[in-house]
Amino acid sequence: MLITRRAEFSASHVCAQPALTPEQNRELYGAAANPSGHGHNYVLEVTLEGDPDPVTGMVFDLKRLKELIQQTVIDPMDHRFLNYEVPPFDRIVPTTENVAAEIWSRLSPHFGDGNPRLNNVRLYETDDLFVDYPGGRP
């Protein structure tokens, strides 16, 4: 069975590589390369997979999942400029893909391979663009 918890955070970022010229960054990332940054209301959906505990009837305590997301993702990222305030985005470009993979790596240590396991991280940058990362090779 799959269970999903949704959370939101607002953050700013710049998508640009130091090794590229401003023109090359503009070509690759479009308006997202604006050096001063811009922001999004990110929507995060964390999905766990497992069998309900026969006593509690729950795959995982959703209150506990909410706290985990709050502590590992929302508190550090909400109302922050990702490039300047949230490592590793001082070193890697905070594309939606890379932010989703970072969220996976922050959450996955809290779950094993058994019951439940982390099934998927979905991150909406806007209503019209989202990424799904089910672990493994990013």
Q: Which residues bind another protein (CB under 8 A)?
A: 15, 17, 19, 28, 30, 92-98, 100-101, 127-133, 137-138
Judge contact between 106 and 73, C-beta under 8 A.
yes
CB of 92 to another protein, least distance (A): 6
Q: How many CA atoms lie within 13 A of 113 on its CB side?
A: 1
- Which is nearer to another protein, 8 or 132 (by Cβ)? 132
- Which is nearer to another protein, 23 or 127 (by Cβ)? 127
H or E, element range at 85: helix 82-85
The pairing of beta strand 2-13 with beta strand 80-81? parallel
CB of 19 to another protein, least distance (A): 8
- Which is nearer to another protein, 16 or 48 (by Cβ)? 16
- Which is nearer to another protein, 70 or 120 (by Cβ)? 120
H or E, element range at 117: strand 117-126
CB of 20 to another protein, least distance (A): 9
**Amino acid at position 43, single letter:** V
- Which is nearer to another protein, 59 or 86 (by Cβ)? 86
| d(C-alpha 69, C-alpha 55), whole Å | 25
CB of 109 to another protein, least distance (A): 20
H or E, element range at 39: strand 38-49
CB of 61 to another protein, least distance (A): 28
